[in-house]
Amino acid sequence: MKAQSSEINVLVIRSATRILNQTLLSLREEFPDCKITVLAPQSGHEAVAQDPLVDEVLTIPDQRRMSVSSYGKKNIARLQEKNFDLAVSLYNIDHGLGYSNIDRLACAAKAKEVRGYNPKGTFVKLDSAKAMRKSIMEKTTVFWLGINYAATTLLCLIITLALIAEWCVRKLLGVFSSKPYKPTVREANKAAAQS
């Protein structure tokens, strides 16, 4: 990203705490005069505010997942008003899967550029389409997991019903075969002749 003015306005979403400092240092190296705003959970506000690399801290309520819906429409509109030049998603894992909610939050800020940083310090450029694709991949993974559980349950039910049906048939046939055997007249005559 080329700096058009001396100060670049950067939004960093603190979703991966262990790489926050190295990412902030990397951003300061790339954009020495940048203004860094960090969006962090409410519980992390004090720790982030004490960091000398951070110019401003915005908070999001402590919830299970940081997302567009948990941040709210009014707060998203405020983010968009700040006209960020760069929005950054942080990933604790190299491939970044499982962070579509953070990517979508970064894209919702309507920054000129969106990046996803991983623990190696490298980044990938993101856009709304990539974030949506990643979100769909995650949801379809859950979808297929659900289908797998449903299919396994259905197969177990079918096998159980088949075994019960087999038991019933055997029991029914066993009742017929447990009747006392009456030899036919011919068999009785033959047996009498042999004795």
Q: What digits encode the pLDDT tens for the residues 95-146?
A: 555 677 777 878 888 888 888 877 776 777 777 777 777 777 666 666 777 8
Mean pLDDT in residue range 26-36: 85
Label residue 76 exposed, middle or buried (CB < 10 Å: 0-12, 13-18, 19+).
middle
Judged against a pLDDT cut of 80, whether residue 91 lies above it is answered with no
**Beta partners for 86?**
10, 113
**0.95 cut: is pTM over it?**
no
Residues 82-95, buried b or exposed e (16+ Cβ, 10 A)? eebbbbbbbbeeee
